[in-house]
Amino acid sequence: MSEPSLNYVLCPDGAKGHRMAYWQWGNPRARHVVVCVHGLSRQGRDFDVLARALCKAAGRKIRVVCPDVVGRGQSDWLQDPAGYQIPTYAADMLALLAQLKPKTLDWVGTSMGGLIGMVICGQPDLPLPVPVRRLVLNDVGPVVEWRAIQRIGQWLGETGRFESVQAAADVLWANSSTFGPHTPSQWLEFSRHMVKPLQDGSGCVTLHYDPAISVSFSAMTPESAAQVDAMLWQLYDQIKASTLLLRGANSDLLTRDTAKAMMQRGPKAQLTEFKGIGHVPTLIADDQVQAVTSFLLD
């Protein structure tokens, strides 16, 4: 399958509910499901390269599902911006998993997607169809460094107006050069799904996400962030899934000290680092894709 199918799941909230979009690759009847969840301002098509690689390696035995977290991509926007937080996202994933009904379940989470994965995997009483078997945490852990939060907060919510996809890609690169080396064609393809047309007839585009996702994020303080870290460690220590931790060697969000602690606590994650990469590895480079596919399909 060279392109995914677009699907939706209805998720409850305090209003009339909302639809979460998800991109499905591979055999739609396969009972082995890999859920890939993106970062804070990203969307499910970030995993195109990885999804193709998994489907090529596993054939019809696998289904790769890449949701657009609510407020991003093809998903609805929330009426109440206060809902743009991890508990809402995790609840939406439970609705998705109930619809997918996997028999074998793996999880790949990049940054925010990894935090959601820790919530899903770290609470044994959640109504999952099956427990998560293998968990990939891409450059994220129970400690989210305050300096990284400040850096991201400088541009989050600025969805902009661009004359072309290439112009948007250039601005995205300015905010995302820590993602590491990419060819111009790789970066343009990676950026293509990050924009949508403006509805003013101008032919210009804007970033795909609801600017209000920045509201809860910008309200964080060092004190509240520390409280979240303590909660995340509690969740991490309860994870039973076999865990692979990916880290950009220059990451400012996941420090080497936190990564070392994650190798010693909870599921005792296996660590793979990528030189010359910060936050966050995009899972496009061959070595990054190979690290994930070999872990999930071994």
Q: How confident is the model at residue 168 (pLDDT cuts 50, 70, 90)?
A: very high
Q: What DSSP letter does each residue of 213-268 carry, written as one string?
A: GHHHHHT--HHHHHHHHHHHHHHHHT--SEEEEEEETT-SSS-HHHHHHHHHSTT-
Evaluate whether residue 78 is within a structural domain: yes
Angle between helices 146-153 and 222-237 (to 10 degrees): 120
Tokens of 66: 């890449």
3-state secondary structure 244-259: EEEEECCCCCCCHHHH
Number of structural domains found in the chain: 1
Structural domain span for residue 34? 5-149+221-297
The CA angle 147-148-152, to the nearest 5 degrees, is 120
State the first-to-last Cα distance of the chain, in angstroms, to the nearest integer. Answer: 22
Evaluate whether residue 60 is within a structural domain: yes
Residue 241 has phi, psi (to 5 degrees) of -65, 145
Evaluate whether residue 285 is within a structural domain: yes
- What is the mean pLDDT of the segment spanning 277-289? 97
Give per-residue pLDDT as tens, 62-98: 999 999 999 999 999 999 999 999 999 999 999 999 9
Q: Which percentage of the chain shows pLDDT scores above 90?
A: 95
Q: Could you tell me which of 256, 253, 231, 244 has the C-alpha nearest to residue 291?
A: 244
Evaluate whether residue 68 is within a structural domain: yes
Evaluate whether residue 138 is within a structural domain: yes
Evaluate whether residue 174 is within a structural domain: no
Give per-residue pLDDT as tens, 30-63: 999 999 999 999 999 999 999 999 999 998 999 9
- What is the mean pLDDT of the segment spanning 189-215? 95
pLDDT score for 14: 78
pLDDT score for 1: 55
Q: Could you tell me which of 61, 236, 56, 245 has the C-alpha nearest to residue 140?
A: 245
How many Å apart are CA 276 and CA 171, to the nearest integer? 21
How many Å apart are CA 43 and CA 40, to the nearest integer? 8
How many Å apart are CA 32 and CA 10, to the nearest integer? 22
| Residue 143 C-alpha from the chain's centroid | 17
pLDDT score for 282: 98
Looking up residue 245, the CATH number of its domain turns out to be 3.40.50.1820
Q: Which percentage of the chain shows pLDDT scores above 70?
A: 100
pLDDT score of 292 more than 60: yes
Instruction: Give the neighbor-by-neighbor strand order of the sheet with 104-110.
Output: 5-11, 18-26, 62-67, 32-37, 104-110, 132-138, 242-248, 270-274
Evaluate whether residue 120 is within a structural domain: yes
**pTM above the 0.85 mark?**
yes
Tokens of 25: 């690759």
Tell me the three state secondary structure of residue 46.
Answer: helix
Evaluate whether residue 133 is within a structural domain: yes
Is residue 62 a contact partner of residue 30, using CB atoms and an 8 Å limit?
A: yes
